[in-house]
Amino acid sequence: MLKFSNSERWFDSLIAAILTKESWDVPDFYDKARVEASFHNIGFSSGYRSMCRFYSGFFWKHPALAKYDWLWRLDTDIEFHCDVPYDPIERMIEANALYGFVQVNEDQVWVQPSLATNVSEFLFNYYSSHSSASDVSVHRAGSFPAVPQDVNHGFVWNGKEGIDKALRGEAGSEEWTRSCMYNNFEISHRSLWESEIYTAFFEHLDKAGGFFYERWGDSPIHSFGVAMALRKDQAMQFRDLGYQHQGWEFECASLDRCSCLQDGAAASLCSLSHSSTING
């Protein structure tokens, strides 16, 4: 049972860890003038952008987490409006899921106008490099023999046409659904982040520079990564936690163990309309 109060001990132990310069500072290969211009044009602090880059490509590599296979992120300013009578990680293990989330929403294009284009370029380059020479010409023509058929590209790209354009390296923001699994609550198995495709994906994005030339978010990047690396049934949505972050709207389950029903704080999220896309 998960209950938070100031009079109870929440965790058996806490570890304070220092982040490395490699995982937090602006890399030397970035054009500093472009970075400064981006702060002026788009906003968001250097620290916020460093956080997005850290969670996109480094958090599971930190020595403090080295002995853990399962990683659960909980941000500050959170509330659970429902008691949790089960272990979420055990439930994921039972379902053979590798990524767990609560909320789905839509992210903004204006802070990351070239993200979808760079993701599409990566997909074409990656699958081309994993195809035979004869397959590459087929790939350009719209057939993708190297792409697993059971991954969930339909969550992040609009329809078959959007998926096909993405895999040909021709998609941009218009083909992106902007759907994101918000990762301020996130449970994941490290094998997802250590997979060949996600490792290559982050390296491609980092070299492109969008974490500081724009403000690429870790939430859409994780969502793109989950869509390309996992089967549909390997992503599990927890909809009975009453989880709320920084006062945002949230979904309150109709359960007796949820205080938000009594508080009248229930609100619907667009996760309701996206759930069939995630799981079906």
Q: What are the two backbone dihedrals, phi and then psi, of residue 75, each rounded to the nearest 5 degrees?
A: -80, 170
Q: Indicate the helix (H) or strand (E) that contains 79.
A: strand 78-80
The CA radius of gyration of the chain, in Å to the nearest whole number, is 20
Out of 90, 106, 186, 196, the active site residue is: 186
For residue 185, the cross-strand partners are 74
Does residue 79 carry a catalytic annotation? no
Rounded to the nearest 5 degrees, what angle is found at the Cα of 87, between the Cα atoms of 82 and 90?
Answer: 145
Q: Confirm if 171 and 165 have CB atoms less than 8 A apart.
A: yes
How far apart are the C-alpha atoms of 95 and 93, rounded to whole Å? 5
The residues that bridge with 73 in the sheet, in sequence order, are 186
- Which residue, 222, 225, 239, 195, is CA-closest to 54? 222
Percentage helix, strand, coil, to 5, in the chain? 45, 10, 45
Question: Would you please indicate which residues are annotated as catalytic (active-site) residues?
Answer: 186
